Amino acid sequence: MTGGNAIRGTRVGSGPMGESERGESAPRHRVSYWCANNHESRPSFALDAEEPESWDCPRCGLPAGRDQAAPPAPPRNEPYKTHLAYVKERRSDADGEAILAEALAKLRAQREGDF
């Protein structure tokens, strides 16, 4: 039974402060990001990974940047578009396409007439 004790001993003895036990053997570093609401998020990245320019704030979802003094501007805010607004928009899109197609057809017809 001395063999079992020896294995156990080396396992406990390995790693300072037991850090290896928490699975943080891969070197990582934390990067701070700030969103427009001044929320700080600190995701960690592997040391050899390139940290992204921006990070989505986990609290409010706005893009967050590395520079606390100049966080990225929030995306254009069209927050609660109603269903009706969507329908109108889509319909006017369709109308626009129809008008365009019609205009092109007329244009072609005119050109053909000119020649």
Residue 74 Cβ vs Zn ion, minimum distance, rounded to whole Å: 9
**Residue with smaller CB distance to Zn ion, 70 or 103:** 70
Torsion (CA) 88, 89, 95, 99 in degrees, nearest 10: 140
What is the edge-to-edge ordering of all strands in the sheet holding 63-65? 40-41, 33-35, 63-65, 54-56
60 near Zn ion, rule: CB under 5 A = yes
Take residue 47 and report the two structure tokens written for it.
């040391």
Q: Which stretch binds Zn ion (CB under 5 A): 26-34, 36-44, 78-86, 89-97?
A: 36-44
35 near Zn ion, rule: CB under 5 A = yes
73 near Zn ion, rule: CB under 5 A = no
Pure H helices in 1-115: 2-13, 83-114
Residue 76 Cβ vs Zn ion, minimum distance, rounded to whole Å: 17
* 42 contacts: CB under 8 Å, gap ≥ 6: 30, 31, 32, 33
66 near Zn ion, rule: CB under 5 A = no
Residue identified by tokens 């590395």 is 66
87 near Zn ion, rule: CB under 5 A = no
Residues 31, 32, 39, 56: which binds Zn ion (CB under 5 A)? 39
- Chain contacts with Zn ion (rule: CB under 5 A): 35, 37, 39, 57, 59-60
